[in-house]
Amino acid sequence: MTTEAGAGRRSSKWSFPWRTAALVMAVGQVISAVLSRLFGGEFTSADRPGEPPIVPAGWTFSIWIVVEALSLAYAIWALPERRPNRAVRDALAAPLTVVFAGFSCWLAAAEIEPVWATVAIFAVMIAGLLRAMSIAMRYRRTIAGWPGMPRHLLWWMLGIYTGWSTIAIWVNLTTAFVGSGAPSTGPVGIVGQMAVLAGATATAVTILRWANGLLPYTLAALWALLGAVFGAIGAQQTLLAGAAAAGAAIVIAAGVPAWRHRGRIADWASGRITAGE
């Protein structure tokens, strides 16, 4: 059985600065996002001309406001020494620092070299998110003993951040190919984007099963795929809209068995269970 003591043995005397760094980077996410919205270039503008049809509709990117708020709230809660299970919070802080810093780096790269640098940074962010989620799942029974507010903050932050990001990186890959000269329309462009949607769906289903139907992850992945549906409809690409809708249906179908197990939807709503149970 995994215990907090096990996390403590892997925690070094430098672990507290990681929690401080996580808070600094969480604040940096908010600041960089505000600056990007005020002064950002074309690549970070919603519904920009010439973008691939499967890029989610502009309004769906409002999910980043939720991500930024949850990240900041959790980082503030996790910082003080008096909070429970310091070793678990320390173990989570390092990958979350990488993720939060990556967010700001992604926005900077979008202004400097938005083609492939953004994809590489997104990949690092997702690696950090999966590492943080793996740690949280390993110590899920310890985390279940936290007060309700921080417990929900952690799982919803991890779920929404990872759910959106694991779909968004596939879309980012599409924009990179188009930015490198690949077509976004015509038979080649349509087939390529259908392959991207298939990859995004497969990724979501794989992580959803790994996390035993983590509800926040599911909702964020569905939000991203729904955005792709409306993006394709706006671009008058009915086939791509149908493919994105099919992906959303597959994600829902993958989550149903986990949610039905022990009344999982009601348990998620009340906070009685967490990922991996």
Q: Ranked by mean pLDDT, which of 35-44, 76-85, 197-206 comes out on top? A: 197-206
pLDDT digits (tens, 9 = 90+) for 132-144: 999 999 998 899 8
Gap between the Cα atoms of 163 and 88, Å rounded:
22
Neighbours of 98 (CB within 10 A): 20
Weakest mean pLDDT among 17-26, 119-128, 221-230, 254-263: 254-263
* Position 251 pLDDT exceeds 70: yes
Give the pLDDT mean for 43-49.
56
pLDDT digits (tens, 9 = 90+) for 178-228: 988 888 889 999 999 999 999 999 999 999 999 988 999 999 999 999 999
Are 97 and 125 in contact, with CB atoms under 8 Å apart?
no
pTM: 0.87
**H or E element that contains 191:** helix 186-210
Q: Where are the domains of the chain?
A: 4-270
Our CA dihedral for 136, 140, 142, 145, rounded to 10 degrees, sits at 110
Gap between the Cα atoms of 41 and 201, Å rounded:
30
The span from the first CA to the last CA of the chain, in angstroms, equals: 14
At 110 the pLDDT is 84
* 1 pLDDT tier (thresholds 50, 70, 90): very low
